[in-house]
Amino acid sequence: MSDQPLLEVSNLRVAFPTRQGVTEAVRGVSFTLGREKLGIVGESGSGKSMTGRSILRLVPPPGIVTADRLAFRGEDLRDASEKRLRAIRGSGIAMVMQDPKFSLNPVMTVGRQIAEAYRVHSKASAREAKRRALEMLEAVRIRDPERVYDRYPHEVSGGMGQRIMIAMMLIPNPDLLIADEPTSALDVTVQMQILAILDDLCGQRGMGMIFVSHDLNLVASFCDRILIMYAGRVVESCPASELRDARHPYTRGLLDSLPRLDDPRRDLPVLTRDPAWLTDDAPPEKAR
């Protein structure tokens, strides 16, 4: 493994000009990512999704992305051409969104979509692509890949759809996967199974991963490192195992407001938001 980080982000900003002025969804986020699972946690409106999307320049117009540095394997993504970016989107960085129904083409069988995704980035024959697609369906633990290959997206369940999505995104063998709430719409047991697949793939292929989620417990148990975002900024960053000892009052407040099975306490402490959180910088991460 080289010393170069997989992804470097410095002072990332996403701004939306509106009639009332400019709204900043992301206000100066910096992090570096190695071959690890990085969780980005926050409530709705915290800018966590925009952070994930802006890396691939998938911010909807009129959003404007700026950064002091935004580099993937040392290559600057800020002024990459649209063509180069398309190449990176397929084979270098992949993205999985929350709802597979919107990301799959409804009039093409799922197998063909996966095979197409493979052929776009490699010059494989149709037969070879099909073989790889079936392998990939098996890798995401679909029991009967041959049958699922010929199904249309509306004929599969939500959990299956998400697995197919992941298969499609991972078939070009990307180095980095950005997963935006990939399991939030799914039942807990299915959610765990899909996370297990992602976990294995990260481990086997040495893939880096950015996992965007609102679920603190999930991220703490799944990721290696966590960024906690509030109002477009990172207010705290810590190793996942140390989330319980988080220092920022916002993180503490979020943790406290979660109902817990092992805690018979009834009234939940309510988060009071401090305006200072809007401007405070994240305390430096403790040395690991």
Nearer to other proteins, 80 or 185 (CB): 185
Give me 232's structure tokens.
């477009």
Q: Could you identify the residue written with the tokens 């992941």?
A: 166
Based on CB atoms, which residue is closest to other proteins, 106 or 264?
A: 264
Write each residue from 254 to 273 as x if it is in contact with other proteins (CB under 8 A), else as -, in one continuous string: x--xxxxxx-x-xxxxxx--
x/- binding map, residues 187-206, to other proteins, per CB under 8 A? xxx-xxx-xx--x-------
Among candidates 195, 222, 171, which has minimal Cα distance to 37?
Answer: 222
168 or 202, CB closer to other proteins?
Answer: 202
**CA distances, 45 to each of 4, 50, 98, 278 (Å):** 32, 9, 16, 13
- Give yes or no for residue 216 binding other proteins (CB under 8 A): yes
**Closer residue to other proteins in complex, CB, 118/250:** 250
For the segment 131-190, give every residue that binds other proteins (CB under 8 A). 158, 187-189
Q: Are 43 and 72 in contact, with CB atoms under 8 Å apart?
A: no
Closest by CA to 69, choosing from 2, 6, 12, 13, is 12
Residue 126 has phi, psi (to 5 degrees) of: -60, -40
62: which DSSP letter? T
Task: Check binding of 10 to other proteins (CB under 8 A).
Answer: no
Interface ranges with other proteins (CB under 8 A): 17, 20-22, 43-44, 158, 187-189, 191-193, 195-196, 199, 214, 216-218, 220-222, 253-254, 257-262, 264, 266-271
